[in-house]
Amino acid sequence: PEIERESSDELSKEELSEVVKKLDEKVEKYDKAIEESKEAKERKQLRSERKEPKQYRKQFQDFEARKHKYQKDMAILGDRNSYSKTDHDATFMRMKDDYMKNGQLKAGYNVQIATEGQYTLAYDVFPNPTDTRTFIPFLDSIEDRYFQLPEHIVADAGYGSEQNYSNVLHRKRTPLITYNSYRMEKKKKYKTNPFHVSNWDYDSDGDFFTCPNGKKVSFHYLSNRKDKAGFKRTFHVYECEHCSRCPLRDQCTKAKGNRKIYYNAQWEQQKAYIREQLSKEETGKIYGKRKIDVEPVFGFLKANLRFTRMSVRGNSKVENELGFAFMAVNLRK
């Protein structure tokens, strides 16, 4: 049946139901005509004509059932990419206890805690496996449910991102959070590598870098990108003037054309700020305490209390069980 539509989007559940209804009516007409017909040849012809609408009806009934299932699945998924059939709030994640070493996934929760002196002061449970995207919601949770945030917020490199730094600074707090390449950038091998952009000369007046071969890498255009969480990043795109016959090309770039540099000014400023904070004696000591403050809590919980898996299902029940577990750790401490 003809359905007049204004867009080319996929058919809705209601539209699929309408198609099935119309096909039902068509098949019923054939059924009635076959019953009323007294001639064998005519009935054979009608049955032959009925085959196609019957096949389409079966197909569209299957589409309708699948559509209903997909809508239900998408409602459970939300912004995740997986969920457990036995616990809809749990997400499949890569666990550390991968005995087969084949990157197996298990249903789990991402547990976040805030500690001081190896005592758990606040905790929360998230379905998102990446720490980067749980950082801001956890800070919101601490302020809403527990206490005012301290002056210094300390976390490891898994939480270091442009969005997270911006958020902490917006709260008028000091982030003592490393980023993924922080330790690598401190090594002599990195500092002496002539092909890293951070080691290139930059001319602020002409807005260009100078590559190891002495060529200009000039600014071309701005590029705006959005990540999955909707955070917008702005990159200054620089391109080398001529790379085709450069003797250093194989060491410098694998690109087919000229080498391009995507320079995020805000991210570079934030990294410089973090390096400055961690180089100070006072803040450096505060950051140094992180690993001996947070990790023993999880170590005690898992190794000593043997708490390595939940015995309940559902986010709220898991949160309650973890509350008792961290209370036990604090009481034992």
DSSP codes joined into one string, 115-131:
EETTEEEEEEEES-S-S
> Would you give per-residue pLDDT tens digits along the chain (333 residues)?
567 777 778 888 888 898 999 999 999 999 999 998 889 999 999 999 999 999 999 999 999 999 999 999 999 998 888 999 999 999 999 888 777 888 789 999 999 999 999 999 999 999 988 899 999 999 999 999 999 999 999 999 999 999 999 999 999 999 999 999 999 999 999 999 999 998 999 998 999 999 998 999 999 999 999 887 788 999 999 999 888 888 988 888 888 888 999 999 999 999 999 999 999 999 999 999 999 999 999 999 999 999 999 999 999 999 999 999 999 999 999
pLDDT at 95: 85
Q: What is d(CA 226, CA 231) in angstroms, rounded to the nearest whole number? A: 5
Q: What is d(CA 165, CA 176) in angstroms, rounded to the nearest whole number? A: 9
CB 229 within 8 A of CB 249: no
pLDDT at 173: 95
Question: Which residue ranges make up each domain of the chain?
Answer: 13-77, 80-149+294-333, 183-266
